[in-house]
Each structure stands twice: as structure tokens, then as C-alpha cells.
Amino acid sequence: MTHTNKYTIIPASLVGMTVIAGLTLASTYVSAEDVVDNVSITVPISCTMSGQGMNSHTEEVANGTYESEIGTTTIKVICNDNSGFDIYATGFTGDVIAGTNSNKLVGTSASESSTIDTGTATTAGNPDTSNWAMKLTATSGANVNYPLTIESDTEGSFSSYHTVPNTWTRVATRTAGTDTGTNAEGSTMTTTYAAYISKTQPADTYTGKVKYTLVHPHDGAAPSTDIAFDDAYAAAGKQKLNGYYKMQDMSSSICSAVTLEDDESETTLIDSRDNKTYTVSKLKDGNCWMTQNLDHDIVTDGSVVYNSSTTDLPANTTWNPSTATYAVNDTTWNWALTAPESYDPGNLYWSGTLYDSTTTSTGDSHYHLGNYYNWTAAVAMNDSSSYPTYNDQTEEYENLEVDQSICPTGWTLPKGGDNSSNGSFQYLVEQYGWSSSNDDMANPHIWESPIQIVYSGGYSSGSLSSIGSASTHWSSAIDDSGERAYDLSAYSNDGVNPNSIDFNREIGYSVRCIAR
């Protein structure tokens, strides 16, 4: 008997195909637009430095003797920056000598004049003088994948006993290599110290400090010379930009944390808007001030809209400068407050000598002329002609203090006019014993450290004037006539006036910012 198979056996290779009357047809799939997930994972640079044995450097050394290998600290660095890093060191006796850097050892029970200076500390000198020194040793061996290189300078290598630097000095380097996986053991070095004590050194316990800091990438900018600012920014968790802490990260808590050093403490910060750097100081009034003129070129081509994250503007507001603003050399100056005006004279410096108006292309950064702004530009407006406002009921002007400026975020224009409260020009100069039109000023003079007001003159109608003999710096205050703004004026032969109103708001003058 013949049997008919009721089932069609479909080969495995045809599963998913449609079989009709012995024909095999490919099924049709119709797709809409593709959906593509882009996955991007950013691994941030993470570098840490830690020390073990930091309290072990204690030794009793008799007069006329030398002692080496005084304690050992192991410094370990783990860093995933493949561009490498540098380690800097400086003497830091800070809390012993009025908060300043120092490479001295200072007596704790005797007067502060009882000190031990740094040297090579090997043997008695001629004359017989006490001195102390530091030495670094990099860890080496088969298991060290990325060893440190101990640096040298004109005095020799820090791998031998070397003087303790009094400013940040590069002492060790790793040029490249990332600690990953089983190799993430880090790079290590040890520190130790030596001392020779002269036959006449007074009995006492002498103490000092050496501070080490990590800078990456290798050959980046050295740390600022002011440890107090560095510590305050680092404690606030702020990150550096091109080797500098940012102007825009300044806050009242950071400024408060900076320790005054002899009534002032200076560092260099960077403006993230254009990467220009500025010296800033915590001055005797307890505030942080720029100690050089603002040099920001206002962008007017529409490519930059200023906002509160970069510029001293109210939260959630923007400023798109009008095209009438000039940020390059230009002989046209619009004598009106219906447009912000600014002028860039180029890379010029006042010579720093009274009665000398000479400007050069190089000089002390404090005396850089910076840019010139009319008051409308200084307060970051396109039209300030409506300030102040007039109250018909009281018949008085109001809104005499404008709370925004061309300064970076976290900074603003100083208060002016009758306002002598903290944060004003008036309050600042009072802390240094100056008064209006006082031509018999006590040292330091206002053009010297720490304030270092540059005699930058002014700009109008296509020319600069009075460089070397006078300066004017805008405040945020308008006088009650409704026409002029207050400023700080300084004259080489007529003292300082922190509440000057002698000039029109349309003229171009300098800007110094104060931290909020």
C-alpha cells in the first residue's frame, strides 16, 4: 500500500521562510528610521598624593654635630593622566612666622629671631653656621612601572641633601604613563632631612615645614606662589584651568579662608572667558581685590552671549553687547550712554615710575594698562541712560548702585560715593590711612604693593591721556545728579580721592574688581 505523507518537512535552513506550492519566498521586513544609541563614557583625570610617616622627622642634635636621615616620609602618587605630572615643594613655616612661606626652622620657646636657615647641612660651614637640608629618593625596582625622576637645579639634584626652596620649586617629575589595572600601585618617593647645629646655636626646639603639591600635566603651569589661596580653593573642591584656579570660582567662603600675610596675600587667577590671568590679593580690608586692571575684550559679533555663569550678571540673565562696542584699536568713541564703549590699547605697561608716562610692551603685570570702558560697558549694559531712576513722588533719584558688571562671576565693581561700607573704595583706602586728596600718604603708596593702582590715565576721542600721572577706576555708584558716576581717582601729585565724581560716564576708564 502506498502511504501519503500529510506533513511537509521544512529543512532547518528554511525556517522563517514561507513555503507555497514548492516555492520558497523570502519574508519582507519593513523598518522605520533606525534608532542608534551613541555611548560615550568619559573617565576624568584623577590624581591623588598621600604621605605616610609625616610626623617622624624628630631628632636631638648636639651643638657642633651633624645628623642625617632625620625621619622618613613616603609620598605616593596615583594618577591616570597619561601626560604625566610634576611635584613641587616649598618651605612652609607659615603658622610660626606670621603665616608666610619660610624655609627656616624657628625656635618654639625662644624669640622668633632664633632660627636655623637652610643649606646643604653636610658639615660645619665657614663660619660655623647651623643649617638644615632636604633629600628625596625615588622608589625603583622591577615592580615599579612608572618611576619618578628627581629633579636638579643650579645647586644640584634633590636626590642629595639640598637647600629647602622658599618658593614653589619642581623637585620630581613623571613625564608619561598611566597607572591602570594591576599596575595601579602609583609612583612613590621618600623624603628625609639633615641638620648641622653650630657650636653656638641656642638650646631650643626648632620646627619647620615642607609642603609638596602635585601639578598635572607634566610641564604645566607651576602652582601659584600663594599657598593660602591654593589651600582655600583646594578645600572648596575647585579645579584648575590651564594650571590656575579660576576667577569665576571665587566665593566669599574662599576669600574668608585665605590667611592674610602681613596685611595682604597675593596669587594669580585665570578668567575662564578668555584665559587671561590676573594678580589678586586679599587686602587689609579683608576683601579679595584684583591688583591689576581688567583686560577683557568685549565680544560684539554675536558669537558670545554673556551670562551669570561667566560674568557678573544677575542669575538667569544674559547680556548681548551692542555692535557699537569697540574692543580693538579704534578712533571712534560714541559720546552717549546708549551703547557700551571699550578700547584696547594693546599690550602696554606703565613704567611704574612717578611723573613718567612711558609705556612699554613688557613690565610688571600689576602695571598692565588693561582695557578702558565707559560706565555703560563697566556695568555690562547696552543702555545705562535710564540709571538712576527719578521718583516723581519723592523728587529724588533712586537706584544709585548698579548690581552687575563686566567683571567675572564672583566679582563685581567696588561700591562708591557716600557708601563707605566694607566693599567700597572709601573703606579700602581708610584701612591704609589715606584720606581724600591726601598728598602726604603713608607707605605703602597706592601705586605700590599691595594695592598697586596703575596710573593708566583715560581714553576718549581716539587718544589716551594722563598715563603716569593719574588714574580713574569705575565704581558701581551714580551720583544723585543722574549724570555722573563715582570713581577712585589717584594723582601722582595730589593724592587719592576714593569718591571722585569729576568725570563723565561716557569716558573710558579702568576697571578693578572686588570679590563678592
Continuous segment of H or E residues that includes residue 232: helix 227-235
The per-residue pLDDT for 388 is: 75
The per-residue pLDDT for 243 is: 75
The per-residue pLDDT for 12 is: 43
The per-residue pLDDT for 114 is: 82
CA dist 213 to 50, 137, 168, 224, 455, Å? 10, 16, 9, 11, 37
Helix segments in 354-459, DSSP class H: 375-378, 425-431
The per-residue pLDDT for 215 is: 82
The per-residue pLDDT for 31 is: 59
The per-residue pLDDT for 34 is: 78
pTM equals 0.62
Instruction: Give yes or no for a contact between 416 and 400, defined as CB atoms under 8 angstroms apart.
Output: no
The phi, psi pair for 255, rounded to 5°, reads: -65, -40
The per-residue pLDDT for 161 is: 94
The per-residue pLDDT for 327 is: 65
Q: Which of the 8 DSSP states describes residue 255?
A: H
The per-residue pLDDT for 42 is: 75
Continuous segment of H or E residues that includes residue 340: none
| Cis geometry, peptide bond prior to residue 444 (ω within 30 degrees of 0) | yes
The per-residue pLDDT for 226 is: 64
The per-residue pLDDT for 214 is: 84
The per-residue pLDDT for 190 is: 95
Q: Cα–Cα distance between 333 and 320 in angstroms, integer?
A: 19
From 478, 473, 481, 482, select the one nearest 508 (Cα to Cα): 473
Point out the residues of the chain with pLDDT beneath 50: 1-20, 95-99, 436-443
